[in-house]
Amino acid sequence: AARIKRTANSTYNQARALFTPAAIAWYCDPDNNPHAAVWKTFADAMTTFHRHYHAYKFDKLPRKTCATPSDDTVAATIRAWTETSDHDLFLAIGLILSFGLRLGEVRQAKASWLTIRQGVPILYAGAGEDDNQVRVKNHTGAIVVRALDPFYTILRTRIHTTAATDSPLITQPATIGNRVSAFLRAHGWRTIKTAHALRDYAGSQIYMKLGPHDAMTWLRHSNIQVTTDYYTGFVSTLKQLDRAAIPIAWATAAGQWTPKIVEA
């Protein structure tokens, strides 16, 4: 029910954005729109509608607190991830935990995205002038993010340093979202967006150990408010006092390497 209300809010706000004063002025200008006269009539009706409807607009719904999994659930999930024989699943979860990728980005990921820059392993995609653009949420067409351990080291155990490949890492991208969700739910994750909760978990570890600014950079948020408002579920739940006990760290590299997937 809450999801339906949020969707209604979002749809209404998107529609309303089409009728800002600047947009209406553009629609009603004959130099821009051959149907300006018709649009003028329509826009006047919409303005009247909005003026009346403003008092009855949807109320913003409070964000539901994420039901974060227990330490035992997380530990069991990581262990099952390292042991799975589903290679797509292994790679997808590894990319989420190691680089904070969203599912849409996981589906596009290529082995050539994984590289070493300035002595550290990073995921580097679409950031150069000659690089193919990547479909990302912030519409920048690029992803540049540093690898996070211990997840990256685990991920690398099944990627060998041999011939380069520009092939997609995920062989069945259409089903990977459902498979990741089913895997996490089978291990006790009860959030609505399970894959995103996994990204939340990794980002929260950075937040707790290294601070909100490093978490913001790794999660690729446009501002720190997004990080503090939406990605601190584990922080508020765990309230870690001993930062040294948090197992994450930035990944390091002994030397240059080029990845290639090794089948399970």
Nearest to 20 by CA among 49, 43, 52, 54: 43
Q: How confident is the model at residue 255 (pLDDT cuts 50, 70, 90)?
A: low
CB 21 within 8 A of CB 27: no
Residue that wins the pLDDT comparison between 218 and 22: 218
Average pLDDT of 247-261?
73
DSSP codes of every residue in 35-80? THHHHHHHHHHHHHHHHHHGGGPPPPPPPPPP-PPPHHHHHHHHHH
pLDDT of residue 123: 92
Count of beta carbons in the 10 Å neighbourhood of residue 231: 25
pLDDT tens column, 56-85: 555 555 555 556 788 889 999 999 999 999
pLDDT of residue 251: 92
Average pLDDT of 196-211?
90
pLDDT of residue 260: 62
What single-letter DSSP state applies at residue 245?
G
pLDDT tens column, 1-14: 777 777 787 787 78
Q: Give me the residues paired with residue 255 across strands.
A: none
Count of beta carbons in the 10 Å neighbourhood of residue 252: 13
Q: Which amino acid is at 7?
A: T
Distance CA 41, CA 114 (A): 55
pLDDT of residue 61: 54
Give the CA count within 13 Å in the CB-facing half-sphere of 160.
6
- Give every CB contact of residue 75 below 8 A, 6+ residues apart in sequence: none
pLDDT value at 162 more than 50: no
Lowest mean pLDDT among 54-63, 64-73, 185-194, 209-218: 54-63
pLDDT value at 182 more than 90: yes
Average pLDDT of 167-187?
92
Average pLDDT, the chain: 81
pLDDT of residue 169: 87
